[in-house]
């Protein structure tokens, strides 16, 4: 029996590995082409592309592992059925439940691996990806410390005459900004430096010994009869301005997005969320990750149900149906997560109820298949189609008799 289990495991792992490799290559190549445009367009070094791609690997592995597992099981059992090995095993008294034991073990291992990747590795990879991409696309910090270069950061334009050796202090700083109400602000300062008020807050620039000019549109001063009175002059010893937008994204800390938190952090901070994040967002993200990880051990059963058949056309339809079921379940989980984030439904209802239905349906389908019903590929998935077909055929004669009357 041990030899048989190792043989079954090998038959599954080979197509699983090939499917995982192909899926990763397809996902990474598509993103790589976009990153080449971004990095080369920003005159960034080519090695940054591969650095960013490395940060994306955990995210794509979390997506590709479940699909590769199901495809590996389906292709392996298709081959076993086509070569007559399943019939030989059944004739030797080996049940289908015994045959799939190594497959279930593989599914459990991949489930734990998926939980580790999505729960603890992917959050760090996502944060590093966002920070690196923002650094490349905006080049905000690097461009900002370059003397004599106009730099656009958000809605602000900066010009610095010189940079001190420490790289964080500047001399002769000029800044221009247009506010939402149309007012234009110009600031000239003798010195400036970067600072951060708190760990998760946006970075700020501190300006010393300067002048602030604000010119409002003429419409704001029509009652006084002169547009020139819209000019305000302020002399300051120190002035602080937050650097939001792209620079805030470049220098921010990890955790302002719930997808950048690990499972432990999601659970620990659910009652004390980071600024700008709701507590129910953390709870919904936590339950969604657990639900996706716990759906992975069910995929071998689904793959077996959809794989065993007698004709090549049935097998191809089974693969199509398997992918369709996975996509539909993923969409349902995303929809349930949105409902939980909006506070419409509790995660127990919006996320765990679909998972329960998914699990019960797969287990029931495998039980029917193990009992020998039905014998064609697609397993339990064909039961509903067969019932609809029988119902349609039964109603057709009745409809013809009614028409004759």
Q: Which of 2-11, 169-178, 294-303, 370-379 has the highest mean pLDDT?
A: 294-303
Instruction: Read off the pLDDT of residues 44-68 as tens digits, 9 standing for 90 and up.
Output: 566 777 888 888 888 889 889 999 9
| Dihedral angle sign, alpha carbons of residues 282, 23, 362, 93 | negative
* CA atoms of 129 and 49, how far apart (whole Å): 10
- Please report the pLDDT score of residue 373 as a whole number: 40
Residue 143 has pLDDT above 50, yes or no: no
Mean pLDDT of 216-226: 56
- Please report the pLDDT score of residue 179 as a whole number: 78
* CA atoms of 381 and 328, how far apart (whole Å): 14
Beta carbons of 255 and 200 less than 8 angstroms apart = yes
Name the more confident of 245 and 130: 130
Instruction: Read off the pLDDT of residues 255-275 as tens digits, 9 standing for 90 and up.
Output: 778 888 999 999 998 888 887
- Please report the pLDDT score of residue 117 as a whole number: 93
- Please report the pLDDT score of residue 105 as a whole number: 93
Share of the chain above pLDDT 90, in %: 26
- Please report the pLDDT score of residue 333 as a whole number: 95
Sheet with 184-196, strands from edge to edge, namely 151-153, 156-163, 169-178, 184-196, 203-215, 231-242
DSSP string for residues in 21-37: HHHHHHHHHHHHHHHHH
| Dihedral angle sign, alpha carbons of residues 314, 316, 317, 322 | positive
Residue 251 has pLDDT above 60, yes or no: no
Where does the pLDDT of residue 14 fall: very low under 50, low under 70, confident under 90, or very high at 90 and above? very high
Where does the pLDDT of residue 387 fall: very low under 50, low under 70, confident under 90, or very high at 90 and above? low
Where does the pLDDT of residue 128 fall: very low under 50, low under 70, confident under 90, or very high at 90 and above? confident
């Amino acid at each position: 029996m041990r030899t048989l289990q190792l043989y079954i495991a090998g038959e599954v792992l080979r197509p699983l590995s090939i499917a995982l490799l192909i899926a990763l290559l397809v996902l990474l190549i598509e993103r790589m082409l976009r990153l080449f445009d971004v990095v080369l367009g920003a005159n960034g070094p080519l090695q940054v592309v591969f650095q960013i791609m490395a940060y994306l690997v955990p995210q794509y592995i979390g997506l590709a592992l479940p699909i590769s597992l199901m495809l590996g099981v389906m292709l392996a059992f298709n081959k076993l059925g086509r070569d007559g090995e399943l019939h030989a095993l059944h004739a030797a008294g080996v049940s289908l439940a015994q045959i799939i034991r190594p497959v279930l073990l593989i599914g459990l291992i991949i489930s734990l691996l998926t939980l580790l990747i999505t729960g603890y590795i992917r959050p760090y990879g996502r944060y590093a990806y966002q920070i690196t991409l923002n650094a490349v696309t905006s080049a905000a910090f690097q461009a900002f410390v370059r003397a004599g270069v106009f730099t656009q950061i958000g809605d602000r334009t900066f010009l610095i005459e010189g940079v001190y050796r420490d790289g964080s202090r500047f001399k002769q700083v000029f800044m221009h900004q247009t506010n939402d109400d149309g007012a234009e602000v110009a600031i000239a300062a003798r010195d400036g430096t970067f600072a951060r008020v708190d760990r998760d807050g946006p970075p700020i620039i501190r300006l010393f010994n300067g002048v602030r000019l604000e010119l409002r549109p003429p419409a704001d001063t029509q009652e006084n009869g002169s547009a020139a009175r819209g000019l305000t002059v302020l002399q300051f010893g120190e002035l602080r301005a937050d650097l939001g937008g792209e620079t805030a994204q470049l220098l921010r800390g990890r955790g302002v997005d719930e997808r950048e938190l690990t499972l432990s952090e999601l659970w620990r901070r659910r009652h004390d969320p980071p600024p700008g994040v709701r507590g129910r967002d953390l709870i919904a993200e936590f339950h969604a990750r657990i639900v996706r990880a716990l759906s992975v051990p069910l995929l071998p059963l689904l793959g077996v149900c959809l794989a065993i058949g007698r004709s090549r056309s049935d097998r191809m339809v089974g693969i199509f149906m398997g992918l369709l079921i996975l996509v539909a379940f993923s969409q349902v989980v995303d929809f349930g997560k949105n409902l939980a984030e909006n506070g419409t439904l509790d995660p127990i209802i919006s996320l765990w109820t679909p998972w329960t239905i998914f699990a019960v349906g797969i287990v029931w389908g495998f039980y029917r298949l193990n009992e020998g019903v039905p014998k064609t590929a697609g397993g339990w998935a064909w039961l509903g189609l067969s019932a609809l077909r029988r119902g349609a055929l039964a109603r057709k004669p009745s409809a013809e008799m009614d028409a004759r009357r």
